[in-house]
Every structure is written in C-alpha cells, then in structure tokens.
C-alpha cells in the first residue's frame, strides 16, 4: 500500500464495502440479496432489482480489474450468471426492472436507464474477464437502446414489457412526471463510454458525440451553471431544481467519457458545474442534496458524498474532497457490525426521519465503491 493518505483512506473504506457485498451473495438462488432494512434485518425473499444486480456486476468487475485480488472476479461472475439467466427477457428482449428472490420476472417494465446499466456492467465484465459473450450482449443491448428507446429528439424513458412507451414513474420525482431526464441521459452516456473503452466502436462514438451535443445545448444551463433535471418532450425544463449530486457526478463522468473520444469541448462546462456545486452546496465538510425553487435540502445522501469526492478531486478541490472523506468516515459509514454506509443522514450525523434501508434496489456498491477505485487510480 502506498503511503499516500487519501489512498490509504480509500483502502480502509473498501475493506468495509467489499466484504459487506460479498456477504450478500445468494448461493441458493443466485445473484445478491435485494433488501436489508435500517435495523440490519436481511430479507432473503425480497425482490432483486436488476439495476442493483448490474451495479454489483459492474463494481466487482472493476474491483477485480483494479485490485487484482483473488475472489473478486468470481463475485462478478456470480452476478453475470444471474443477469444472463434471470434479468434478461428472453421473449421481448431487454432487461426487466426486477425479479423475485428466486429469479422470476417481478416488475417487467423496461427502462432505458436499466438497459444502460446492463451495458455498462457487461462492458466492465468483458474487460475484467475477457468473456466475449459479455461484450456481444453489451453490443446487442446498445443496439436495442438505439432502436427501441429513442425518438427524433433523443432518449425516451419507460416502456412496458414489449417496449410500448408508458409514464416515467421510476425516474420522476419532486411532484413532476418527466418525458425526458438528465439522469437517464447521463447514464446512457456513461454506459456508452464503458462500451467504447472496451471495444472502440465508431458507432458508439457517434452516439456519444450526439449525447455531448444534447448535454452542451439542452441540459446545461449556462446562466445558472447547472444541469436542468426534468424535461418535456422538447427539452424544456419543467421544474426549478438543482441536483448537486448529479452536477458533481457529471462534472467528472462526462469529462471522462469525452476524453475517451479525444474531446475537450465540455471541459469548461464541467469546471463550471464543479465550481457552482462547491459554492452553493459544500457546507460542514459535506454536500447538500438538492435545491428546489430556492429551498435547500440539507440531507446528506450517501451517493452524493461519494460522487463529490471524485468530482472535487478531479477539478482540484482537494481540501473539500478530504473534508468529505472525513465526513463519510465519521458520519456516513455505519459502525454497527454487519453494515456498510447509511443511506442518508443530517449534517450532524443523525438519522433522517425516513430511516432508509441499508440495501435496496438503488442502494448498492456502485457510487461508494467507485469512489474508492477512482481514488486508487488517481493515486497509483
């Protein structure tokens, strides 16, 4: 281990994240258990979110690639087999939203966001394992997104099992129902970036450049130095909302994807996003969640803190990144045996009133695990 203090902290955090998720491996029915409540009660018969499984597959694939430790690729292969055998819809194509604990279809809707994470995970697994079947499947899902999940204006959101459009309930919040979302666009770009890194396809590069155009001219608001979040069909923003977590995540993730293409046109935008988040949301060594119509949400969300560490390191705000790492270690990491990170806390570390679960379909090792891996890559 290097003597670099930030790197040492990343290793300490990984020492909690990796064994926790390894312990959730379902050896009877496959995949990983889908729910643990705030009291650390594991529900082995809870539905298994396919986004959760894809993110676990991505994490263990990237951890295996980065750390070269025994067992991590086997954990990734376990998630890969579950995706192949249970998460894929053999009849209509694409990836389900969720399956039952024993792998039967549960919520059969198809969401572009979900398809994208499968592409991202499969691309990472191919790079870690060399399994060309995983790359082939990633390319097939990429083609499905482009064929079934787009219109003339960009990417659509939610569909029924046979890919007829439905209301976007899964990725709409704050009292609005969005026709398009920044969140889906960001993670389609992320997925395509992973696929492009794995296969260097010019077709994928073309679609990535189209997304960069949309990010630059429709999603980014130069006056407010933020991304708009929820849109109508014509990319008109439908709510006054700043998502600090997505802005700081985009500030490094979009720049990373663009760099794979040799593009630097979004660098100024990404710097402006990070600067605005630092000015508006960095308080008490942690990041606020969001601001809606001038009302600040003071909750500290696990994934927002993780992405802020990477985003601030990427743009040179090292003191802020180190402050957030301290906040994470002191207040976000759950010190109880058998736990991982808390989902959300207040600035003083107290629980929020919702007492969110430790594991559910959105709570995964993707953001916090990626934070650790990114630190290790940046401090070799």
- Decide: 184 and 157 in contact? Cβ < 8 Å: yes
Which among 25, 94, 98, 107 is positioned nearest to 59, based on CA atoms?
25
Give the global pTM. Answer: 0.97
For position 354, what pLDDT does the model report?
82
Q: Could you give phi then psi for residue 124, rounded to 5 degrees?
A: -65, -40
For position 299, what pLDDT does the model report?
97
CA distance 164 to 150: 12
For position 1, what pLDDT does the model report?
41
Q: How many domains does the chain contain in total? A: 1
CATH number for the domain including 313?
1.50.10.10
For position 309, what pLDDT does the model report?
98
- Decide: 342 and 351 in contact? Cβ < 8 Å: yes
Taking 50 as the pLDDT cut, the residues of the chain under it are 1
For position 3, what pLDDT does the model report?
63
For the stretch 327-362, pLDDT in tens is 999 999 999 999 999 999 999 999 888 889 999 999
Look up the domain containing 131 and give its range. 5-378
């Amino acid at each position: 281990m290097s003597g670099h203090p930030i790197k040492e902290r990343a290793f300490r955090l990984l020492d909690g994240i990796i064994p926790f998720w390894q312990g959730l491996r379902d050896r009877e029915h496959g995949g990983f258990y889908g729910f643990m409540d705030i009291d650390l009660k594991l529900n082995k018969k809870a539905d298994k979110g396919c986004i959760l499984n894809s993110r676990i597959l991505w994490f263990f694939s990237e951890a295996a690639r980065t750390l070269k430790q025994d067992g991590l690729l086997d954990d990734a292969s376990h998630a890969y087999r579950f995706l192949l055998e249970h998460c894929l819809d053999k009849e209509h194509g694409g990836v389900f939203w969720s399956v039952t604990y024993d792998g039967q279809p549960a919520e059969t809707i198809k969401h572009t966001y979900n398809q994208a994470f499968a592409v991202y995970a499969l691309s990472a697994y191919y790079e870690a394992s060399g399994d060309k079947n995983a790359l082939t499947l990633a390319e097939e899902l990429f083609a499905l997104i482009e064929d079934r999940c787009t219109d003339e204006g960009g990417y659509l959101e939610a569909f029924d099992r046979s890919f007829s459009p439905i209301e976007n309930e899964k990725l709409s919040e704050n009292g609005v129902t969005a026709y398009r979302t920044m969140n889906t666009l960001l993670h389609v770009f992320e997925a395509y970036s992973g696929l492009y890194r794995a296969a260097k396809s010019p077709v994928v590069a073309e679609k990535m450049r189209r997304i960069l155009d949309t990010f630059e001219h429709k999603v980014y608001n130069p006056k407010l130095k933020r991304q708009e979040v929820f849109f109508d069909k014509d990319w008109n923003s439908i709510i006054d909302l700043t998502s600090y977590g997505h802005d700081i995540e985009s500030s490094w993730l979009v720049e990373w994807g663009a760099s794979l293409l040799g593009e630097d046109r979004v660098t100024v935008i990404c710097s402006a996003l990070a600067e605005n988040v630092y000015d508006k949301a960095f308080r008490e060594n942690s990041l606020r969640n969001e601001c809606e119509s001038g009302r600040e949400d003071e909750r500290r969300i696990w994934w927002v803190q993780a992405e802020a560490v990477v985003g601030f390191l990427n743009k040179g705000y090292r003191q802020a990144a180190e402050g957030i790492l301290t906040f994470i270690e002191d207040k976000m990491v759950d010190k109880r045996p058998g736990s991982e990170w808390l989902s959300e806390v207040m600035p003083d570390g107290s629980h929020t009133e919702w007492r969110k679960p430790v594991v559910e379909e959105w709570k995964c090792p993707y953001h916090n695990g990626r934070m650790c891996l990114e630190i290790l890559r940046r401090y070799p």
